């Protein structure tokens, strides 16, 4: 489902991508819990989409906090989310 959402993003079909990313995030959250690595990856993917709409900062912050707690500060996924957050903060 996430792969299909990514494809929609690449095609510029952001509304379709958003619906799928939200559904994927909610399903993973319900299935695995809010701090599971897969759930956090879905959160990060949704936040990346939201960069187009300037509403991703809060989601990146939540994802970063979760990844720090679950994966540790030096994990590559944590560092990726930190870079994403820094990028949007630097572009304000």
pLDDT tens digits for 18-42?
999 999 999 999 999 999 999 999 9
Q: Which two tokens stand for residue 67?
A: 């990844």
C-alpha 66/C-alpha 44 separation (Å) is 11
State how far the alpha carbon of 7 is from the alpha carbons of 2, 21, 28, 90, in Å: 9, 11, 20, 27
CA–CA separation, 81 and 39 (whole Å): 13
Neighbours of 9 (CB within 10 A): 19
Q: Give the pLDDT score at 63.
A: 96
> CA 25 to CA 63: how far, in whole Å?
12
pTM: 0.85
**Residues in the chain with pLDDT < 50?**
none
Rg (CA), the chain: 13
């Amino acid at each position: 489902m996430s792969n299909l959402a990514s494809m929609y993003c690449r095609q510029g079909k952001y509304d379709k991508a958003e619906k799928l990313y939200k559904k994927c995030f909610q399903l993973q959250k319900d299935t695995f819990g809010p701090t599971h690595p897969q759930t956090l990856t879905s959160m990060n993917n949704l936040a990346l989409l939201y960069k187009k709409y300037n509403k991703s900062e809060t989601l990146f912050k939540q994802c970063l906090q979760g990844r720090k707690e679950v994966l540790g500060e030096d994990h590559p996924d944590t560092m990726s989310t930190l870079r994403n957050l820094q990028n949007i903060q630097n572009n304000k």
